[in-house]
Amino acid sequence: MGAGTGASDDGSSDHARPYAPGSPDARSARAAGERRDDHVYAALDLGTNNCRLLIARPEQRSRRKSDMLRIVDAFSRIVRLGEGMGVSRRIGEQAIERTLEALEICREKMSLRGVSRARLIATQACRAAENGAEFVERVRARTGLSLEVIDRETEARLAARGCGSLADPRAESILLFDIGGGSTELVWLTRSARGCLLRHWTSLEIGVVSLAERFGGKSVSPAVYESMIARALEALAAFAERTAAERRCERFHLLGTSGTVTTLAGVHLGLERYDRWRVDGLWLSDEDATRAIDQLRAMDFDQRAANGCIGPQRADLVLAGCAIFEAIRRLFPASRTRIADRGLREGMLLEMMEADGSFAPQRGD
C-alpha cells in the first residue's frame, strides 16, 4: 500500500498511496462519475474502540480552510480492538477478525472512490499491545493497507488540527479534550495573531474501554461512578498542575471531540436518532451537561442500549466516558463546552490537502 508504519511527528503525509491515478480502481471510479482532475483523499482512524474512515475532496468555494472538505464517503464501525487488553496487554483474535472485516470495507470504499492519497493511522491499542506490530503486519497482508501507528503527540496535534476551528475566536484560552477508548488527549490552546496555538498537551492511558473494563459498565452504582471519577482525577492531576498558571479569560471554554460528548449532546437535544448536523458545533452549558449526564445515569443498561444516540455497542461504555468528562469539568471549570463531531480524520485530511497546495494557509485555523 505504500510507505511504512512509523509515526510522523512533523505531520508529513508521505504515507500510503493506495491507488495510483492510472490504476483500474481509479479508472472505474472515474467511469462511475468521479471527475478526472479531482484529488480524492482518505483518512482512516483505527482506535481502541472504533474504526473510522472519511473520504473527501477540497472544497474550493469555501472561504475558511476549516470548512474546505467536501465529504465523498464515510464509514464507522465499533470494532473494540482493545477489548481485554487491560488484562492481557495483547489484541485478541476475535478483536483482530472484527477489525480486519471493517478494514476490508474501508479498502473497498477507497477503491470505489478512486482515492489518490491516504493516511491510515492506528492509536492507543496498537501502541500499547505486545502484538501491535504483528497485528499491523496482518492488516497489510490481508487488506493491503499499511497502518501508521502514531505517537501520542501526533494524536493530540491532529485532534487540535481537526476541530480547533470550532473554538470561540474571542477566547484567549481553550481546553480541547478527546476521550477515546484507550487514551484521553488534552490540549491547552491559546489565541494569537496567527490563530490557535498548541501550548500544552498530554495523552493519558485512560479511556472509556479501559475504565469500563476496570470498574464495570453495564450496572454503574453511584459509588462505582465516583470511583471512576476519582481514577480520572488522578490521571489528570499532573496536567492540571502544569496548566494552573495559564490565564483563563471570561470566554474560556472546553472543546470536546469524542463519542462521549456527542452522545451527551444528542441526549440533551432529545434526538431519537443521532444527527451530526445538529450536534457538531453545539454549545452545551455546564448546567445542560450536568442534566444530560444525570439522564444517562438514571437509565439502566437496556434503556441506554435502546437509546438512538447510544445503541447496544456503546451502552456499557458511555458512563465511563461521562466520568472522565466529569473529572475534566471539576479540574477545569468552564461555563460551556463546544461539541465537535470532527477530529483526527479531519486533521489528517486538512494536512494532506495543505501539503498538496489545495489551499493556502489562512488566519484563524
pLDDT of residue 320: 97
Mean pLDDT, residues 230-245:
96
Q: Beta partners for 52? A: 45, 76
pLDDT of residue 16: 33
Lowest mean per-residue pLDDT among 23-37, 94-108, 282-296: 23-37
**Cell of residue 115, nine digits:** 482515492
Asked if residue 30 has pLDDT above 50, the reply is: no
pLDDT of residue 357: 86
Mean pLDDT, residues 329-336:
97
pLDDT of residue 68: 76
Asked if residue 164 has pLDDT above 60, the reply is: yes
Top pLDDT among 194 and 29 is at: 194
State the pTM of this model: 0.83
Top pLDDT among 232 and 21 is at: 232
pLDDT digits (tens, 9 = 90+) for 316-332: 999 999 999 999 999 99
pLDDT digits (tens, 9 = 90+) for 36-52: 346 899 999 999 999 99
pLDDT digits (tens, 9 = 90+) for 245-303: 998 889 999 999 989 999 999 999 999 999 999 999 999 999 999 999 999 999 999 99
Asked if residue 226 has pLDDT above 70, the reply is: yes
Domains of the chain listed by start with CATH number = 24-150 (3.30.420.40), 166-344 (3.30.420.150)
Lowest mean per-residue pLDDT among 21-25, 324-328, 341-345: 21-25
pLDDT of residue 61: 58
| Angle made by CA atoms 195, 281, 121, in degrees to the nearest 5 | 75
How many beta carbons lie within 10 A of that of residue 98, not counting itself?
18
Q: What is the mean pLDDT of the chain?
A: 86
Mean pLDDT, residues 6-23:
32
- Return contacts of 151-154, CB within 8 angstroms, 24+ apart: 151/7, 151/9, 151/127, 152/127, 152/183, 152/185, 152/203, 153/9, 153/201, 153/203, 154/7, 154/8, 154/9, 154/11
d(CA 269, CA 118): 35
Q: How confident is the model at residue 35 (pLDDT cuts 50, 70, 90)?
A: very low
Q: Beta partners for 141? A: none
Q: What is the largest CA-CA distance in the chain?
A: 60
pLDDT of residue 359: 63
